[in-house]
Amino acid sequence: QLTFGTLDFQALQSAVPAYVVQCGTGFLTVIALLLFVGPIGKSGQFPLHVWLPDAMEGPTPVSALIHAATMVVAGVYLVGRAMFLFAEVPVVMNFIAWIGGFTAIFAASIAITQRQIKRILAYSTVSQLGYMMLALGAGSLTSSFFHLMTHAFFKAMLFLSAGAVMHAMAEEADIFKMGGLRKKMPVTFAAMTIGVLAIAGIPPFAGFFSKDEILAAAAAVSTPLYVLAVVTAFMTAFYMARLLFVTFMGEPASREAYDHAHEVGWFMRLPLLVLAVLSVFSGMWGHIFGFGEWVRFGAAAHEGIDWAIAGSSTVLAVLAMGLAWKIYVAKSWDADELAARCGILYRLSFHKFYIDEIYAALIKVLVDGIARVLYWLDVYIVDGIVNGLGGVVRLASGWLSPAENGQAQSYAGVYLCGVIILLAYGVYFAAKIMAMLGGAF
């Protein structure tokens, strides 16, 4: 508002290029970086991601609608809507891409070891939001918003499926206390399978088309970013397959919980079926009819699938799911033994890299420490000054109170003395002034 005189996006889009020509990008860089701080918090980007997994403590429909499909992508939308501003500052675009890429792989590395079903999906959401930011930083508004749309469908379905499982399991959320539920909950199992295949990027599900565009956009601007995105895709397929296999395959971990499990009613199954259809066909729709014709930055361009990128990422996703099968279903390797072999890496991932503990320590040391200092200043300095002034007033009043004896002749004497003193000062200053005037003439 102070720099451009308006907050209207269309007016800003016209004003920014002229401002760059006239003033350069120095101050615009500061504006863009500060503007991006909002999306970092709103869309759960590192290091302001910690609120989103904790928000999953709420009801599952809220998690599905608010924390997976709508509210958390507001930051992504803001960056995309203001792309005309960010695109003028390449260093900020690079910063956005790397924040998004790091967030994607960081959250995926945490999701691999989590046990709570909704917490796994929460960190998956953080990771996918990182994907969207990476695409924006790479300059591909189309792929970012395409993934925003497809992700809304399959992630909402995954959360609702998780809610159905928890409802059937008497609110149990630990996937390792489940098992074998595909027989008890076939509709939920089918919906969860579609969601897992979609987020893993297996064709022809929705995530395949949007993820392929993000990988292609990353490959076009930076090989390290592309490698990071591919590794994240591998990890995503692994931990989502782990969630699916441990929850629905194998033998029940608890016979009592298994016997209690049941398929949810139609009022809970119907949204799953609707979202399942969208999770299958929305990606194909966007690819066939050209999502970039409606959502784009710059000229519309309908690009075909990069089969080298799409094929390699699909192979990696299949391998990741096969690895999860070998560990958690076929049990060719003992999962606990693998965790023990990973040692500190597993502990770091399971404890979310101790980011929550670091924040708690910072609050205790920094915030509480500053509060104690300010409390001391308030009590002993501010209050001390006020109380000291009050003491001076009390002391002076103690000295002067004897003069207030109620005798009129005493008051008249004080008044007369005051008048004499004032007259003496007046005569003295008049003499000084006359002397100065006489010396001047």
Determine the pLDDT at residue 398.
77
Whole-prediction pTM: 0.84
**β-strand partners of 79:** none
Is residue 433 predicted with pLDDT exceeding 80?
Answer: yes
Question: Residue 260, Cα to own-chain centre: how many angstroms?
Answer: 37
- Among the listed ranges 27-41, 120-134, 196-210, 285-299, which one has the minimum average pLDDT value? 285-299
Residues of the chain with pLDDT > 90, as a percent, come to: 48
Q: Where are the domains of the chain?
A: 9-350, 361-440
pLDDT single digits (tens) 190-233: 999 999 999 999 999 999 999 999 999 999 999 999 999 999 99
- The answer to whether 120 touches 104, Cβ cutoff 8 Å, is no
Q: What long-range pairs does 46-49 form, CB within 8 A, spacing at least 24?
A: 46/99, 46/102, 46/103, 46/106, 46/107, 46/130, 47/355, 49/103, 49/107, 49/126, 49/355
Is residue 5 predicted with pLDDT exceeding 90?
Answer: no
Is residue 299 predicted with pLDDT exceeding 60?
Answer: no
Stretch 179-192: mean pLDDT: 90
Confidence of residue 302 (pLDDT cuts 50, 70, 90): low
Q: Which segments of 254-402 does DSSP mark as H helices, in order?
A: 255-260, 266-289, 307-328, 335-342, 344-350, 355-362, 368-376, 383-400
Determine the pLDDT at residue 291.
81
Q: Residue-wise over 339-356: b if at least 16 C-beta within 10 A, else e?
A: eeeeeeeeeebeebeeee
Is residue 346 predicted with pLDDT exceeding 80?
Answer: yes
Q: How would DSSP label each residue in 143-194?
A: HHHHHHHHHHHHHHHHHHHHHHHHHHTTT--BGGG---TTTT-HHHHHHHHH
- The answer to whether 156 touches 272, Cβ cutoff 8 Å, is no
pLDDT single digits (tens) 134-178: 999 998 898 899 999 999 999 999 999 999 998 888 888 889 988
Q: How would DSSP label each residue in 72-125?
A: GGHHHHHHHHTHHHHTT-HHHHHHHHHHHHHHHHHHHHHHTT--BHHHHHHHHH
Is residue 61 predicted with pLDDT exceeding 80?
Answer: yes
Is residue 300 predicted with pLDDT exceeding 80?
Answer: no
The residue among 415 and 270 whose pLDDT is bigger is: 270
Task: Show the tokens assigned to 211.
Answer: 């993820």
Q: What distance, in Å, lies between the first and last C-alpha atoms of the chain?
A: 63
User: How much of the chain is in helix, strand and coil states, percent to nearest 5?
Assistant: 80, 0, 20
Confidence of residue 128 (pLDDT cuts 50, 70, 90): very high
Determine the pLDDT at residue 13.
85
Average pLDDT score, the chain: 88
Is residue 389 predicted with pLDDT exceeding 70?
Answer: yes
Confidence of residue 238 (pLDDT cuts 50, 70, 90): very high
Determine the pLDDT at residue 439.
62
Stretch 111-136: mean pLDDT: 93
The residue among 144 and 2 whose pLDDT is bigger is: 144
Confidence of residue 301 (pLDDT cuts 50, 70, 90): low
Is residue 303 predicted with pLDDT exceeding 70?
Answer: no
